[in-house]
Chain A
Amino acid sequence: MNKKIFKLLGATALTLAFAANATAQTRGGTLTAIIQPEPVILTSALNTAAPTGFFSANVFDGLVEYDNDFKLRPALAESWDVSKDSKTLTFHLRKGVKWHDGKPFTSADVKWTLENVWKKIHPRNQIIYGTVTGVDTPDDYTVIIRFSEPSLAVLSSLNSNGAQVLPKHLYEGTDILNNPYNNKPVGTGPFVFKEWSKGNYITLERNPNYWDKSKGVSKPYLDKIIFKVVPDAGARAAALEKGEAQYAPFSPVPLKDAERLAKLPGLKLETRGYDWISPWLFLDVNVDRPYFKDVRVRQALAYAIDLNAFNKVVWYGFGKPAVSPVVSTLKQFYTDDVPKYGYDPKKAEALLDEAGLKRGADGTRLRINLDYLPYGDDYKRSGEYIKQALKRIGIDVNVRAQDTPTYTKRVYGDRDYDLSVVWFAGFADPLVGVTRAYWSDSIGKNIPWSNGSGYRSAEADKLIEQAQSSSSQTERVALFKKLQQRVQTDLPSIPLLELHFFTVQAANLKDTVTGVDQIYSSLKNAWFDNTAKVAKAAP
């Protein structure tokens, strides 16, 4: 099968994108966005934290972009081919692209970044590029990547977040993680870095030489973007309400404030643009605990939680009950043909009785602790809801709070926990984000966001390894569906919700979402519709 078809799809998507923008975009304006927490460094090739990714894509392009259907769209690479055995990947790079310091962008930059950063440092990419045996650059605009085994997941992770190209001429021979350009990035992207006042703001200015021009329109439309650091949620809500900031991603205000803000005339709530992250919330069960070794006890936990009510009460409907760790928006990989555990407390109690956990004299079967991801109130309330739900079936839960390093060490290092509420990003290919929760190789090695349950299944491990190196996408899809059935049968962790994050933005800020990975891609298409604002102000 020749995969040139990707090129065709990309080209079609591009035309469609232009046709859709019938209204004329206005150039100019300064966008004030809220970035929270403040990024550590400004290059997401070295740190994949959400705020860094949100910022960094404006300065750096990816090799490709993703459209609203997970299809690839050309960016720094104009086209790409995958060989018949899926072991060779060729990129044809865009000509005439310049780094912000004026040096030309070439295949040498891609080769250097792949060999030194994606393969060695990038926290997610090692599973994708680990089997690279060589990178050839026959000319300045061609990159040929050779793998020892097929690595089809690579196609899901070629945007600015997954494959950010760093300028070789500024990084080669330096201590990469301590390179000063991590804090004053030089990219090829639509906006040029100006200033970072720590704890305060970061400013970007329009790149006048940006490559993305067609039909006389040159992107980006905005003149300037200011990323403000606003640490307090109440202050973020006030700043948005007053119009001091016009764009705030990653659920910037508490869920209970979101609805109120959405009703204000100048603001709107946007839930698109997060699909590439494929986030799912789950309850990790420490299967090394003697009382959780029995699968019936784990199933009882699942039967005891009413996910619809949980979604409504705790998450204000910003989620969807999950049936599998692969979210339903990943249509290709998702299957609902898995064992399901609908709300049934009676069955839960029966299972616990069967497993020998009888109610004691005080009605309690078991006393355990629950730790939640310390990322805010929503996770705390999730833990409290589960405490109430489990109390009904005779399990007494103590909810514990701690800070993030304590939490990750407890779950992934010391493994000194019973239950934990956490979300993972599954990403566009389950190999990148989902399998890490089940692969037995990472247990107890103190690696944050890996296999926290301690689940060891030879079958699951084998399915994951096969999916990693399979050369056929059809086969990979079948393997991932089998994996979902396996883990939903063994239930080392209980999927709770597919999370719907949201962005609060000014209503007159247009075209902020042009792909499934929008929050990790640039705002080059965004523009202020000043006519709408005037019309609204008139009455």
Chain B
Amino acid sequence: MKINNVVIRRLLQLVSVALGVAVINFFLLRLAPGDAAQVLAGEAGAATPEYMAALRAQFGLDQPLLVQFGKYLLNLAHFNLGYSFRHGMPVAQLIGERVPATLLLMGASILFAVVAGATLGAIAAYRAGKIADVVISTLALVFFATPLFWIGLMLVVVFSVWLDWLPVGGMFTIEAGYTGWAHIVDVARHLVLPAVTLGLFYMAVYTRLMRATMVEVRRQDFVRTAVAKGARPPRVLFAHVLRNALLPLVTMLGVQVSSIIGGAVLVETVFSWPGLGRLAFEALFQRDFNLLLGILLCSSIVVIVVNWVVDFVYTRLDPRIRFS
């Protein structure tokens, strides 16, 4: 009963936030000067009044704004994200085609950031004040402060052009037509540089966070008690120190997942990765509002859901916190 109430409340919250985002975005985006027809005519390098009129009719831009808005809401009520006239495809299909690439990139970069960040942070905390700590902390500071696209380009120059270990960009070697295991290896090779680039900033954040909290947690009485009762160092680390140090990291993880589409724009551009971030970015410049609204709506839902998951994970990590 109580659980049902929670679920219903959360769902209502989701719908109202998503709807609010959709409505605000719809009108906000219309403030940008120029429309999709103008972009297309601009790209065509030549235009006539007849051509512009044909394009506006094609895009449905010749209708009053409120009619367009009504149609948009009606579509949403039917779980239909609308049609991208520029791409000649339904928005849902366009997003669906790009989601796997973005999920792969996001998953890999988050995994890299969390594992590397937590490990480095833990090492730094255990070696606080020693050489290893200084090196790790300095590196973390450097990655924290360097712009993403620059790191990406430098990685390409070093690992692709000079050393020739990894491909320059793209998601797989189209020319080779690999299948099965060879294809998976090929994608993995293409994934390394973009995932590392996208993950480095958060790795630095996690390293600093992990180091700080672990240094603090290790001084706590319950850790001293654990050591005093004769628990082995690995058990002290995993059962006592790590579990308590993870809370702030989970919070940051929620932030990373929510903000990753923004970072993905740059990384996907630098590495020609066919993902959602680039699609959103291009949609903005192309005034392809149906598509952009669809992507923004989907990502707002992702952010809300991720926040739930984070709340839920809190309760698992720290029984004092209740999920409500």
Contacts and interface: CB of A to CB of B under 8 A. Distances in A.
A234 B46 contact: no
Contacts of B34: 404-406, 408-409
A121 B156 contact: no
Chain A, interface size category, equals 35 or more
A242 B164 contact: yes
Interface string B203-226: 000000000000000000000000
Given A123-B46, A403-B285, A177 B55 contact: yes
A436 B88 contact: no
B274 to A, nearest CB: 4
Given A178-B58, A238-B161, A447-B52, A198 B87 contact: yes
A162 B97 CA distance: 33
Interface string A233-269: 0110011011010000000000000000000000000
A238 B160 contact: yes
A117 to B, nearest CB: 11
A409 B87 CA distance: 23
Nearest to A445: B49
B32 A121 contact: no
- Looking at chain A's contact residues, the main secondary structure is mixed
B156 A447 contact: no
Contacts of A448: 38, 41-42, 44, 47
Interface string A394-414: 000000000111111110010
A228 B160 CA distance: 18
Contacts of B312: none
A231 B52 CA distance: 27
Interface string B164-202: 100111110011000000000000000000000000000
Nearest to A121: B54
A385 interface: no
Interface stretch (A17-25, A42-50, A356-364, A501-509): A42-50
B270 interface: yes
Contact of A178 (B51, B85, B164): B85
A430 to B, nearest CB: 14
Interface in B77-102: 85-89, 94, 97-98
Contacts, number: 168
Given A178-B58, A405-B34, A200 B171 contact: yes
A30 interface: yes
Nearest to B149: A232
Contacts of A433: 46
A458 B132 CA distance: 80
Nearest to A122: B51
Nearest to B288: A40
B33 A123 contact: no
A464 interface: no
Interface in A48-66: 48-50
B45 to A, nearest CB: 6
A436 B46 contact: yes
A120 interface: yes
A123 B51 contact: yes
Given A404-B42, A449-B42, A126 B33 contact: no
Contacts of B104: none
A495 to B, nearest CB: 18
Given A40-B40, A198-B87, A405-B42, A177 B58 contact: yes
Nearest to A31: B175
Interface string A73-111: 000000000000000000000000000000000000000
B146 interface: no
A180 B87 CA distance: 10
Contacts of B157: 238
A229 B282 CA distance: 13
A47 B44 contact: yes
15 contacts: A37-B43, A38-B282, A123-B44, A123-B45, A123-B46, A183-B88, A197-B97, A201-B174, A226-B174, A232-B270, A238-B169, A241-B161, A405-B35, A408-B41, A447-B52
Given A408-B42, A446-B38, 4 more contacts: A47-B44, A123-B45, A177-B58, A199-B279
Interface of B: 32-35, 38-52, 54-55, 58, 85-89, 94, 97-98, 153, 156-157, 160-161, 164, 167-171, 174-175, 269-272, 274-275, 278-279, 282, 285, 287
